[in-house]
Amino acid sequence: MNKDDIRIRFAGTDTSVVADILDEMGRFEQGLSAEFSPFPMTAGKLAGWAYTVRGQMVPYDGAGDAAKMEAANGISTGEVSVWSGDGEGICYFGELIALGMRESGSVGALVDGGIRDVRWIGEMGFPVYARYRTPVQSIGRWRVTGCQENVYMRGATTERVLVRPGDFVLGDEDGVIVIPSDIVVGVLERSEQLTAVEQRIRAEVAAGLSLQDALQKFGHV
């Protein structure tokens, strides 16, 4: 199974189903904080392989951040840029970075911080999930300090969730979850099985089967 097939198939699953499968496998702390939201709200599903970027608040002189541009240029097809850092109130990610990454084949961004240019990113059809939006730029305030290294993102049931390069990121209306690379295929296959069961339940309930009878027939899902 190649990576693009995996990505496309994951895009057909829901984060709620994947979260249940991760619990089933004993991976209980993979959900990200409820602060993460799609920008704009119509951004659509986020599904791709993690390409990690780390930064920190540090004053500096100059017109730009060369390390950020280098990171942007390094992303590959099917990858989601995952931005981690200690900045608050400032933008890590905006329209021009999105344009450059999309040209390289990136399929979205996950930002543990701020974004701007929301309207223009929305018109691009490029899904971005972030904690907040802000017009305040990072230049002179926050800079990239590492790329394709292990990073931590704010978690839902734990303070931080580890994201490694090559892990899988899935985001939708319910939130964002991270699937460790060592179990990606197993999680996908079980998620597809559970998705099929849920689809059958919906169809039979719509046809008149009671919810109680459906749960007796299919089990709790």
d(CA 134, CA 88): 10
Please give the biggest Cα pair distance in the chain: 67
Q: DSSP of 157-202, one letter per residue?
A: SSSEEEE-TT-EEEEETTEEEEE-GGGHHHHHHHHHHHHHHHHHHH
The alpha carbon of residue 203 and the mean position of all alpha carbons in its chain are separated, in whole angstroms, by 30
Q: How far, in Å, CA of 116 to CA of 103, rounded? A: 19
163: tokens are: 């994201």
Instruction: State the Cα–Cα distance between residues 89 and 103, nearest whole angstrom.
Output: 28
pLDDT in the model for residue 221: 57
Residue 20 has a pLDDT of 95
**Residue 156: exposed, middle, or buried by beta-carbon count in 10 A (0-12, 13-18, 19+)?**
middle
| Cβ count near 208 (within 10 Å) | 7
Domain boundaries, the chain: 27-179
Q: Which residue has the tokens 């719509």?
A: 206
Residue stretches of the chain with pLDDT short of 50: none
Contact at 8 Å (CB) between 178 and 161?
Answer: yes
Cis amide leading into 40 (omega within 30): yes
Calpha distance 136→141 (Å, rounded): 10
Q: What integer pLDDT is reported at residue 61 of this predicted model? A: 83
- Three-state DSSP state, 79: strand
Sort residue 140 into left (φ over 0), alpha (ψ -120 to 50) or beta. left
Q: What was the pLDDT predicted at 209? A: 63
The reported pLDDT for the residue numbered 204 is 66
CA 154 to chain centre: 12
Fold held by 27-179: Glucose Oxidase; domain 1 (3.50.30)
